[in-house]
Structures are given as structure tokens and as C-alpha cells.
Amino acid sequence: MNTDYLINYFILVPLLGFLVSLLINPKEETLLSRIAFFTAGAQLIGFLVFAVYWFSIGFPVFNVKEIVLCQTKGYEFLVDFYFDKITAVYLFVGALLTFLITIYSRYYLHRESGYKRFFNTILFFYLGYNLTIFSGNFETLFIGWEILGISSFLLIAFYRDRYLPVRNAVKVFSIYRIGDVGIILAMWASHHLWHENITFLKLNNYTLVHEHLMQHSTIGIFISVMILIAAAAKSAQLPFSSWLPRAMEGPTPSSAIFYGSLSVHFGVFLLLRTFPFWEYQTSVRILIGLLGLTTSIVASFIARVQSSVKSQIAYASIAQIGLIFIEVALGFENIALVHFAGNAFLRTYQLLVSPSVVSYLIREQLYNYAPRENTFEDSLPKKIEYSFYQLSMKEFNLDRIMNWTVFTPLKNIGHKLDFLSVKNVFYFFIPAYIIGCIFLWFESGIPNVVLKYLPDVFAFVALLMVLKSFSERKSGELSWLLIIMNHFWITLAVSFNEHFNWNEAVFYLSGVVVSGIIGYACLRRFKSVEKTPFDLNQYYGHSYEHPKLALVFLLSCLGLMGFPITLTFIGEDLIFSHIHEDQFVLAFFNSLCFVVGGIALVRLYARLFLGPHIKTYHETPFRSS
């Protein structure tokens, strides 16, 4: 049996299901649900058949080098697939739960206006899920990782005519993007540690890993900490825990499959997949264990005071994932996998039956309510008990902490540039960019003392532009242009490093230019059709009247932020491969540009096309609905 074809089968089935679902008429509910049903069913049956064969030959590990997307001197961007017992467990749990959710959703969302959109997004998520669990290197994993992020945003904002779902969708996507900093910097550092696009198969080579870490222990710890940041953000561990209950604004089936079972456990998957790398770094294992323990304690306190059943389930799941982090840190891989499967099935069941449970409990409270006589908290001194109660009610101020430490400082820096307008950008920054290109042309004549700092300076200018775009509230066109120019400044900054030639710069910027022109044309078209000025201080909800324009603009946003597998996405990885291992400032500035730029683009799309419709003749839900 050719294992290459079998592994390709598990990737192609959800891809074909997603592509076919895009072609179906929105009114064909039965056909749409059957496509999703048969896609998940074919995946599940395929796995069960493959599992029998895999068991019979002794659980071997498979690695398939699928395709090389880009290759230059000293760099190779390849899609690599990997199958072992971790993949097997995640594949089985994902296939079974997706299969059940498609059956449930068929009736739950009957006659819903976004029926087709829901099943399109679920199949898109399932494609990203399979790409992630089959990933054989960081690049392939990041492709699936990004698909999961954007499908999360679309599902949380499923009720896109309401204020809270859209607002929370942007918030969740923002936390996901912060976690992406960890993945991006881990990929960058691993390129320099291994001098190749390392596969997860090679990470299982103890001798190879040990030799490299002995020579570069600092880089090894840095990579491990970046992986932990990405895992903590994806699995809602401290200090990122507050996004999970906010994600429950989507339909109950998507809450169950995403935030109760599958997506929220990808932080665990990342730690399990990279375990051979940080296994012998004791400090990292202690850090992971302490993070899991602290999260479990805090989340347990918060869960006990929640008035919403979805929020209670969310924090209970966070607490259990914290325990799984501890199990992974202790090296109990099999226990962690069993714990993941059990927690995924339990939370999915709890979320799907939650409406019925709530109605039952309300009836019970009316007729047979009996308060608990003794609880754990009663054993504590009253001042401590009341303090924990207040903190738990406020969710330990996790939202405020994230705003104070991350988002508010970024916005404050951006507000310092409020003097910028579209004209000022052309008057000041385009001439400055031309001067930078002249410096690059006469690079050999510039003193080394000055040349050393030029990449950092140009990257800082790029960061200022993206921060201004992030904080912009007046002009959507200005926000869009700043993101485009940010990519040009990043290219200029990296161009001072050797081996980064003009062909690679053109390859990267071609994706930026195409997406930028299409998106700007959409903004101009939107402005001419509506014939009213618009700012970014409110939601306009124009996807209702301009669905095609909204779709094209969303695709342009994805292309400009470097969504897989656009030229911009490959170009981002290509750029980081040319940043030297001692250029931490340049790497940090560039990663922050990509991440904050993605948040700014999604916020721009959400403000213009999602949320309550600005025109009063449309039905407008209350902000709290």
C-alpha cells in the first residue's frame, strides 16, 4: 500500500469538499449539508481503514515531502506531511466530531440566512485542521495555522448583523495574531539553528538535536519560549484566556467543534509535536508546567462564578487544557493524548446540549432549588474568599491586562502619527523611500557603522506605518495605503542583507501590489456607490447590500496580510530566511509588522462590511443582542 497516496487522500478529501461546497446554490440546504456530511464521513472511514493497515505493520512513522513551492540559494519552502500516533489521535477525534457536528448543524441551522456560509467555513476549517495535524515542518503547520485563524474569525462573526459577534471575532483574531509572533520568530530562529527547513522527523533524531543545542543553547531556549507563546495563545492559557468565552458568540455547533474540542487543543498539539526539541531543556519544561498549573487554578475559580453556561464550559475547558500542558511538560505523551480526546468529546457534548440543560435547570430552580450548604471556598478566611470571588467575577481582569500591555501601547504610538493624511504619506514617505533605495544602490560607499543600523531604521519606519494603520479611525483608504507601503519598507530593510536579490523582492512585492490595487479599487468603488463619507469609528454592515464587493475585499485583505498560499505568504518566509541570527530587533520589527498589519486589515473589513447596518431601513439588533 502506497502511504503517500493515503496521506494525500486525507488532505484532498476536505479540499474537494470545500471547493464543491462553494459551487452549490445557497438555497440547496440538503445538498450543502450532504457534501459536508459525506466529506467528514469519507475522512472518518478512510482513517478507520488506514488505521487497520497501520496497526498491522507496527505503527510506523511516515514522512512525505510533497512539493517545493519556492527554492533559492540557501532556502527551500516545501510542503511536508508527517504521520505518527499524535496525528492519528487528532485525525480520529477531528473526523468523528466533524461528522457529528455536520449532522447536528443540518437541522440546527435550517432556514438560517447564512446556511451556505456556515458549511463553507466549517469545511474550510476542516481543511486547515488536517493541514496542521499532518504538517511535517513549521512552514506547513503555519499554513494550516493561518487557515484556522481566519475561519475562526468568520465563524464567530457568523451573525454578522449583530454588534457583539463581530466585535468578539476581531478580538479573538487579534489574540491569534499575537500568538503568530511566536510561530514566525520560532521559524526564523530554527532556520539559523539548522541552516535548513527542518522537518519534525529530524527533530526525533536525539543526536542531531543535542549537538545543535549544545552549541546554541540560547537560540534553543528562544525557540522553545516562542513555541510556548504560540501554544498558550492558541489554547487560551494565561494571559490569553479571556478570548475563549468571547468566541462563543458564534452558532452553538461552531462553538462546540472549534472552542470546545478541536481548535482550542492546537496549543497542546504544537507542544507535543515539538517535544523532542525542548525535552531536555529543564527550564522550559518547568515554565510550561507552571503556566498550565496557574491557568488551571485561575480558570477553575472563574468557571465557578459564570452566569452563562457557554462561558462556564469555556473556562472549564481552559482548566483541563492547563492540566494537559502539565502532562506534556512531564513527558506523559499518551496520557495527554487520552486527556485531549476525553476533554474534546465532553466539551462538544456539553455545548450541544447546553440549551436543553439551561431550560431544565431554570425549571428546577423554580421548583426544587436547594443551595449548597458547604463549598470549598467556605474553608477560606472570609476576606480571601470575597477577594477571590470579586477577582473571578472580573475574570481576573485578563482583558484589561491584555489591553494595558499590548493593544493600548500600540494604539498610543499610532496616535502620535495622527498628522498623517493620504497627501502627507505621498509627500513625506515616498521621497524618503526613494532616498532609501538610493542608499541601497550605493551600499558599498556607506560606512559600516551607518550601514549596520539602516535595516533596523527602515524596519522601524515600516512598523510606524502599520501602527498608524492599526490606530486609524478616520480614513479607510489611508489605513490601506499604509499597509501596502509597510511591505515596501520591510523589503527595503531586508535588502541590505546579502543574498536577498531583486528577483526575490519582486516575487514578494508582486503579491502585495496585486492585492493592494484590487483592495484599493474596492474602497473607491464602495465610496462611489454609497456616496457618503465613512470613517472607522463604527460598523457599517454593508455586506448585506454589497456581498460581492465584500467578498473581493476580504480576499484582497487576505492577500495583503500574507494568507496561505499567496506570493505574500511565501515572501514573508523568504524575507525571514535572510534576516541574520544576530538581528533580533529587525526580526521582531518585521514579525510585529506582519501581525499588527493583519489585525488592521481584518478590523478594516469588519468595520466596513460587518456589524449592524448603518441604514435605518434595515432591521438593527441591539448592541447587547
pLDDT at 287 over 70: yes
Instruction: Decide: 495 and 555 in contact? Cβ < 8 Å.
Output: no
Residue bearing the bigger pLDDT, 260 or 295? 295
Helix (H, G, I), strand (E, B) or coil at 538: coil
Mean pLDDT computed over 26-33: 86
pLDDT confidence band for 273 (50 / 70 / 90): very high
Query: Before 35, cis peptide (omega within 30)?
Result: no
For the ranges 192-196, 220-224, 297-301, 480-484, the lowest mean pLDDT is seen at 192-196
Which amino acid, one-letter code, is at 256? Answer: A
Q: Where are the domains of the chain?
A: 3-363, 416-609
**Residue 457, CA distances (Å) to 447, 493, 504, 595 in order:** 15, 8, 21, 19
Mean pLDDT computed over 194-211: 80
State residue 144 phi and psi, 5-degree precision: -65, -35
Mean pLDDT computed over 583-594: 87
Bridge pairing between strands 75-83 and 62-72: antiparallel
pLDDT the model gives residue 230: 92
pLDDT at 618 over 60: no
pLDDT at 503 over 70: yes
Share of the chain above pLDDT 90, in %: 20
Mean pLDDT computed over 291-308: 89
Residue bearing the bigger pLDDT, 574 or 622? 574
Q: Which residues pair with 102 in a beta bridge?
A: none
pLDDT the model gives residue 244: 86
pLDDT digits (tens, 9 = 90+) for 55-67: 888 888 888 876 7
Mean pLDDT computed over 149-173: 88
Mean pLDDT computed over 103-112: 83
Query: First vs last Cα of the chain: how many Å apart?
Result: 54
The highest-confidence range among 74-78, 446-450, 522-526, by mean pLDDT, is 522-526
Alpha helices in 472-583 (DSSP H): 476-495, 502-530, 547-561, 567-576
CA distance 179 to 72: 28
What DSSP character marks residue 376?
G
pLDDT digits (tens, 9 = 90+) for 408-440: 888 888 888 877 777 777 777 788 888 888 877
pLDDT at 221 over 70: yes
Instruction: Decide: 68 and 78 in contact? Cβ < 8 Å.
Output: yes
pLDDT confidence band for 510 (50 / 70 / 90): confident
Mean pLDDT computed over 348-358: 80
Helix (H, G, I), strand (E, B) or coil at 346: helix
pLDDT confidence band for 130 (50 / 70 / 90): very high
Q: Where are the beta strands (DSSP E) in 388-513?
A: none
- pTM score, two decimals? 0.90
Q: Which residue from 161, 166, 158, 173 is spatially nearest to 116, judged by alpha carbons?
A: 158
pLDDT confidence band for 571 (50 / 70 / 90): confident
Instruction: Decide: 247 and 233 in contact? Cβ < 8 Å.
Output: no
pLDDT the model gives residue 617: 57
pLDDT confidence band for 539 (50 / 70 / 90): confident
Q: What mean pLDDT, rounded, does the chain reach?
A: 84
pLDDT at 341 over 50: yes
The residues, any chain, with a CB within 8 Å of residue 250's CB and separated by 6 or more, are 155, 156, 157, 158, 159, 165, 169, 258
CA distance 407 to 413: 10
The dihedral through the CA atoms of 294, 300, 301, 302 has a sign that is positive
pLDDT at 625 over 60: no
Instruction: Decide: 105 and 118 in contact? Cβ < 8 Å.
Output: yes
CA distance 434 to 432: 5
pLDDT the model gives residue 410: 84
Helix (H, G, I), strand (E, B) or coil at 304: coil
pLDDT digits (tens, 9 = 90+) for 467-479: 988 988 888 888 8
Q: Which residues pair with 291 in a beta bridge?
A: none
The highest-confidence range among 136-150, 204-218, 387-401, by mean pLDDT, is 136-150
Helix (H, G, I), strand (E, B) or coil at 445: helix
pLDDT the model gives residue 6: 79
